[in-house]
Amino acid sequence: MKNHHDDDEEEEEEENVVGLPPCALKNFEEVLVEADNKEVLVFLDYDGTLSPIVTDPNKAYISEETRKAVLEVSTRFRTSIISGRSVDKVKNFVGLPHLFYAGSHGMDIEGPDVGISGQTTATGTTNRVKHRPEGLDQNEAAGARDELSERTAGIEGVTVEDNKFCCSVHFRNCKDPTSVDRVERIVREVSDERGLDVKRGRKVFEVRPRVTWNKGNALDYLMSVFEVTQKTGFPIYLGDDKTDEDAFAKLRELGCGRGVLVSTKVKPTQAHYSVKDPTEVLEFLRLLSRWGKSRDEPEGR
């Protein structure tokens, strides 16, 4: 396994950031202090959270032990994966089909039947969770993706990834530092022309439609699907990148749950806690399962 902690966040961020939020492992009891008597919900980003950031985005595999830990957590708490990738791709990576998935930065949501009232069909077919924001058009991303692939084809180290409703332009493998500016110019031009949004992440430009929907909305939507409110639910969200900040912000707005930033670098964040890397995420998930077990099966009963 190869870790790339080097210069992932090359942009200088706002100055008034003093440090990372407190460690979620060292303060584990405190993270869960408000979760008592509430339904704990687990939301996990994929890249850089469950899997290490790797050179080839098509090889961002999750380790067997992490998969096992996610499975374990999902037997106690409703667990959702919220990723920038397409649902199919991230589902394939995680390999746990019973979870809830929100792909394309939360725009494309699907999951198993949760028995939503009024949605049972006469034929008894399962009513899987399925949601996309209104006005979402797959063709927008497809068009941009094709043009971006074409226009960046001559730049070494650039790959354009199809995320169904959005696309990612990866420049992690650009050896020539001047190509990043070229890539950015192309990405901004194409997106502007096509009325799409651009967000810069860890060595990637995320191009997505201008629908008002992000990972925070996906979290909110899934909570409503689970019929959980701020009073009855305790969502925990783990993520490492800028798009995850929308989910951290949502938790702040709702005034419930806790956000955990996965980072070794100090950066502005709305998360309440932090862990360093996917290895610490694994540790956190294990602690969470243990916590759930002791809650469900108190000693001496």
* Least Cβ distance, residue 46 to Mg ion (angstroms): 6
Q: Which of 44, 45, 73, 245 binds Mg ion (CB under 5 A)?
A: 45
β-bridge pairing 39-44 and 233-239: parallel
Told to check if 280 binds Mg ion by CB under 5 A, we report no
Which residue's structure tokens are 């990043």? 180
| Segment lying near Mg ion (by CB under 5 A), choices 26-34, 38-46, 110-118, 274-282 | 38-46
Q: Please give the Cα distance from 175 to 157 (Å, whole number).
A: 7
* C-alpha distances out from residue 249 to 55, 90, 238, 240, Å: 29, 23, 13, 14
Q: Which of 47, 108, 245, 280 binds Mg ion (CB under 5 A)?
A: 47
Cβ atoms 261, 271 nearer than 8 A: yes
Closest to Mg ion by CB, 133 vs 278, is 278
| Segment lying near Mg ion (by CB under 5 A), choices 17-25, 60-68, 229-237, 241-249 | 241-249
Told to check if 246 binds Mg ion by CB under 5 A, we report no
Q: Please give the Cα distance from 30 to 121 (Å, whole number).
A: 43
β-bridge pairing 100-103 and 159-162: unpaired
Q: Which two tokens stand for residue 165?
A: 């409703």
Question: What is the full DSSP assignment across 165-192?
Answer: SSEEEE-TT--SHHHHHHHHHHHHHHHH
* C-alpha distances out from residue 91 to 58, 79, 120, 126, 208, Å: 13, 13, 25, 19, 20
* Least Cβ distance, residue 262 to Mg ion (angstroms): 8
| Segment lying near Mg ion (by CB under 5 A), choices 54-62, 184-192, 233-241, 280-288 | 233-241
Q: Which two tokens stand for residue 201?
A: 């992440």
Closest to Mg ion by CB, 168 vs 190, is 168
Q: Which two tokens stand for residue 260?
A: 């955990």
| Segment lying near Mg ion (by CB under 5 A), choices 45-53, 89-97, 190-198, 227-235 | 45-53
Query: In this structure, which amino acid lies at residue 296?
Result: D
Site for Mg ion in 14-33 (CB under 5 A): none
Closest to Mg ion by CB, 84 vs 133, is 84
Closest to Mg ion by CB, 161 vs 240, is 240
| Segment lying near Mg ion (by CB under 5 A), choices 47-55, 73-81, 222-230, 252-260 | 47-55
* Least Cβ distance, residue 23 to Mg ion (angstroms): 19
Closest to Mg ion by CB, 111 vs 201, is 201
Beta bridge partners of 39: 233
Phi/psi of residue 141, nearest 5 degrees? -70, -40
Told to check if 240 binds Mg ion by CB under 5 A, we report yes
Told to check if 241 binds Mg ion by CB under 5 A, we report yes
| Segment lying near Mg ion (by CB under 5 A), choices 12-20, 40-48, 92-100, 227-235 | 40-48
Told to check if 206 binds Mg ion by CB under 5 A, we report no
Q: Please give the Cα distance from 42 to 40 (Å, whole number).
A: 7
Which run of H or E residues covers position 41?
strand 39-44
Total site size for Mg ion, rule CB under 5 A: 5
Q: Which of 48, 133, 233, 257 binds Mg ion (CB under 5 A)?
A: 48
Residue with the CB atom nearest Mg ion in the bound state = 48
Binding site for Mg ion (CB under 5 A): 45, 47-48, 240-241
